[in-house]
Amino acid sequence: MKAIWKDEVIAESDDTVVVEGNHYFPLDSVNESYLRPSNKTSVCTWKGQFETSVTDS
């Protein structure tokens, strides 16, 4: 599975987790230059924590 934005691969993994139809990528498969820590928090036992993706429009 690949996450692509404007021809740039943001994440790629054969080991995504699908929850309610959404693919979640392992952190080590994500290009961290597209991530920023979020000031929001979320606690979910199956999805864990999240980061904010940053892309140029």
- Can you give the pTM of this predicted structure? 0.67
| C-alpha separations of 10 from 7, 22, 31, 35, 44 in Å | 9, 16, 5, 9, 23
Q: Is the pLDDT score of 7 beyond 90?
A: yes
pLDDT value, residue 11: 95
Transcribe 26-56 into DSSP letters. Answer: -GGGB-GGGEE--SS----TTT----EE---
- Taking the domains of the chain in order of start, what are their residue ranges? 2-53
User: pLDDT tens-digit profile of 11-49?
Assistant: 999 999 898 898 989 989 999 888 777 777 777 787 777
pLDDT value, residue 1: 96
